[in-house]
């Protein structure tokens, strides 16, 4: 077995037992990156020198200090500020930007001993569902180079699928972790809004932006969340709620578990082959004695419209700071998708239209949130598709923004309601990965992990 195939928990054990060293681990990741990155384009920056120095240090400490991620290479989406390492958001505007501080999530990873192996590609400013909006070229899907890996955390998902890192960081504003996880056949967690600090993450839409992670196994997601979650005085949306020991309770099973299947997510627009694959997963869970109940979230058909008002409005505000005066280039460096969203948001917030657009969207957001609250009175979790379609071809939707936006139709709801979602591979159709997601009430990550873990044991 190659080192790069191992999960984080396997690597933890291997390092402690001195089966291999951190330097060997870093080299195994670097080899994969050198071999495949010129094609896949998952990484924008590879931190080879720094990573090898840190690995040598980790090898000295491995049996002296107990840190959960000591010596383990992790990939970081290039939207997290990393001290001294170029951070671009895959946008030309920030092509030469070198932050002077670490994002809190990155800081916590480093404190846990993780080695930042590199910064991954994304749709510029995290605007996109395919990875094609990167100003530094699209990322390819490692399963088939003609297909998109999903976005916006395209590089992190592709890096995981191509075994270039043992875990990866992403952000999810409307599906940007779950969609690429699903398209690349890896696990992706979008936690509850506020569970992980957003400090030092280049802001897209502040009421929706959520920091999360990718992994090969459910346990790996639990390890990463445990490290990164918690209150941060630099992000007022992080509550002082205790972080559970997610790993410890992974194999617990909630008795009489009920999972809801929202009928609006299994209706027209869902590709038949995708649905069949997800129904197979549902059957496996049913055989475990989990009760499946059809539920309704009646305002689902309005979610994408709500999202495409609130998100661009917040984007227009957040991107207003890029004036090229203190760092970065000026606004002539914005590419098309950023311009579209800035203009859409500026329009929706402008005098005379605010009430008809932004205020209306915020009100419908309330109804969408209430739909979930009602559903979670009847069931513990929901199970839905991640994407209505299989991964699509590079170039297929790039000229039609609305068609591209519709890729997020099943994922934006979780961001509007602030609830967690966990995307899980369901298998392959025509050689391409299909995923489904569990959605739960706010701060139900522990239960999401347990049910996902139970499913993982079945496949």
Partner 1 sequence: MKKISNLTEQEVKHVAKLAKLNLTPQEVKKFQEQLSEVLTYIEILKEVKTEKVEPTSQVTSLENIFRKDQDQASLSQKEVLSGTKETHQGFFKIKRILNND
Q: Where in the sequence numbering do the catalytic residues fall? A: 77, 152, 176
Q: Which two tokens stand for residue 390?
A: 């299989």
Which CB sits closer to partner 1, 120 or 316? Answer: 316
* Distance from C-alpha of 82 to C-alpha of 103, rounded to nearest angstrom: 6
48-77: contacts with partner 1 (CB under 8 A) = none
268 interacts with partner 1 by CB under 8 A = no
As measured in angstroms, the least distance from the Cβ of 43 to partner 1 is: 23
14 interacts with partner 1 by CB under 8 A = no
**Cβ pair 215, 178 in contact under 8 A:** no
186-205: contacts with partner 1 (CB under 8 A) = 193-194
**Cβ pair 410, 385 in contact under 8 A:** yes
Q: Which residues of 167-190 are buried (b: 16+ CB within 10 A; e: fewer)?
A: bbbbbbbbbbbbbbbbbbbbbbbb
* Distance from C-alpha of 355 to C-alpha of 85, rounded to nearest angstrom: 42
320 interacts with partner 1 by CB under 8 A = yes
Which CB sits closer to partner 1, 139 or 415? Answer: 415
Q: Binding residues for partner 1, how many (CB under 8 A)?
A: 57
Cα dist from 294 to 248, 298, 397, 437, 439, whole Å: 31, 13, 32, 16, 14
Neighbours of 68 (CB within 10 A): 17
SS3 of residue 444 by DSSP: coil
Which CB sits closer to partner 1, 58 or 306? Answer: 306
Q: Which residues of 121-149 are buried (b: 16+ CB within 10 A; e: fewer)?
A: bbbbbbbbbbbbbbbbebbbbbbbeebbb
For 240, list phi and psi in degrees, rounded to 5.
-85, 25
305 interacts with partner 1 by CB under 8 A = yes
As measured in angstroms, the least distance from the Cβ of 447 to partner 1 is: 19
Task: Please select the residue that binds partner 1; options are 365, 407, 409, 412, rule is CB under 8 A.
Answer: 365
Which CB sits closer to partner 1, 32 or 299? Answer: 299
Alpha helices by DSSP H, listed for 379-411, are: 401-405
Task: Please select the residue that binds partner 1; options are 101, 244, 249, 282, rule is CB under 8 A.
Answer: 101
As measured in angstroms, the least distance from the Cβ of 102 to partner 1 is: 13
Burial (Cβ within 10 Å: 0-12, 13-18, ≥19) of residue 240: exposed
Which CB sits closer to partner 1, 180 or 345? Answer: 345
Task: Please select the residue that binds partner 1; options are 418, 425, 435, 440, rule is CB under 8 A.
Answer: 418
* DSSP secondary structure letters along 102-132: --HHHHHHHHTT-EEEEEE--SGGG--SSST
Task: Please select the residue that binds partner 1; options are 242, 255, 325, 430, rule is CB under 8 A.
Answer: 325
394-413: contacts with partner 1 (CB under 8 A) = 401-402, 405
86 interacts with partner 1 by CB under 8 A = no
Task: Please select the residue that binds partner 1; options are 20, 97, 136, 329, rule is CB under 8 A.
Answer: 97
Which CB sits closer to partner 1, 199 or 453? Answer: 199
As measured in angstroms, the least distance from the Cβ of 297 to partner 1 is: 14
321 interacts with partner 1 by CB under 8 A = no
Which CB sits closer to partner 1, 332 or 457? Answer: 332
233 interacts with partner 1 by CB under 8 A = yes
SS3 of residue 23 by DSSP: helix
151 interacts with partner 1 by CB under 8 A = no
Task: Please select the residue that binds partner 1; options are 52, 243, 362, 429, rule is CB under 8 A.
Answer: 362
x/- string (CB under 8 A) for partner 1, residues 279-298? Answer: --------------------
350 interacts with partner 1 by CB under 8 A = yes
Task: Find all residues with CB under 8 Å of 402, minimum gap 6, and list them.
Answer: none
Which CB sits closer to partner 1, 417 or 447? Answer: 417
* Widest Cα–Cα separation across the chain: 66
107 interacts with partner 1 by CB under 8 A = no
Cα dist from 46 to 30, 85, 97, 428, whole Å: 8, 10, 16, 30
- Partners of 428 in the β-ladder: 433
Contact residues toward partner 1 (CB under 8 A) are 97-98, 100-101, 193-194, 207, 233, 236-237, 239, 299, 301-302, 304-306, 308-309, 316, 320, 323, 325-328, 331-332, 334, 339-340, 342-344, 346-347, 350, 353, 356-357, 359-367, 369, 401-402, 405, 416-418, 442
């Amino acid at each position: 077995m190659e080192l790069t195939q191992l999960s984080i928990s396997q690597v933890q054990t291997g390092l402690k037992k001195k089966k291999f060293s951190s330097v060997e681990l870093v080299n195994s990741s670097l080899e994969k990156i050198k071999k495949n990155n010129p094609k896949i384009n998952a990484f924008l920056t590879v931190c080879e020198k720094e990573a090898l120095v840190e690995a040598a240090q980790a090898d000295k400490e491995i049996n002296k200090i107990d840190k959960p991620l000591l010596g383990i290479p992790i990939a970081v989406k290039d939207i997290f500020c990393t001290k001294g390492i170029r951070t671009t958001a895959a946008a030309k505007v920030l092509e030469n930007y070198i932050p002077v501080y670490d994002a809190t999530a990155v800081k916590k990873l480093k404190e846990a001993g993780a080695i930042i192996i590199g910064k991954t590609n994304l749709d510029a400013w995290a605007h996109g569902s395919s990875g094609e909006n990167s100003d530094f070229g699209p990322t390819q899907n490692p399963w088939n180079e003609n297909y998109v890996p999903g976005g916006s955390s395209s590089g992190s998902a592709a890096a995981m699928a191509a075994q270039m890192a043992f875990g990866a960081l992403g952000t999810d504003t409307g599906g940007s972790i779950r969609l690429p996880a699903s398209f690349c056949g890896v696990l992706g967690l979008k936690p509850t809004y506020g569970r992980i600090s957003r400090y030092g993450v280049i802001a897209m839409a502040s009421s929706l932006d959520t920091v999360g992670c990718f992994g090969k196994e459910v346990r790996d997601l639990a390890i990463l969340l445990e490290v990164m979650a918690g209150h941060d005085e630099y992000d007022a949306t992080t509550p002082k709620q205790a972080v559970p020991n997610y790993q410890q309770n992974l194999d617990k099973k909630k008795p009489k578990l009920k999972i809801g299947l929202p009928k609006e997510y299994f209706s027209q627009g869902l590709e038949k082959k995708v649905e069949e694959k997800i129904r197979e997963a549902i059957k496996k869970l049913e055989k475990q004695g989990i009760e499946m109940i059809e539920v309704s979230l009646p305002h689902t058909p309005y979610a994408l419209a709500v999202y495409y008002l609130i998100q661009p409005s917040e984007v227009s505000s957040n991107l207003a700071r890029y004036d090229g005066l203190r760092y970065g280039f000026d606004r002539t460096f914005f590419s098309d998708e950023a311009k579209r969203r800035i203009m859409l948001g500026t329009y929706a917030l402008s005098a005379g239209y605010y009430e008809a657009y932004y205020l209306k969207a915020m009100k419908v957001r309330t109804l969408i949130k209430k739909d979930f609250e009602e559903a979670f009175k009847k069931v513990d979790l929901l199970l839905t598709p991640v994407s209505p379609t299989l991964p699509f071809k590079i170039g297929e939707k790039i000229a039609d923004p609305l068609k591209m936006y519709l890729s997020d139709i099943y994922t934006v709801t979780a961001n509007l309601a602030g609830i967690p979602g966990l995307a899980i591979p369901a298998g392959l159709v025509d050689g391409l990965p299909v995923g489904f997601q569990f959605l739960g009430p706010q701060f139900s990550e522990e239960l999401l992990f347990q049910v996902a873990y139970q499913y993982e044991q079945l496949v």
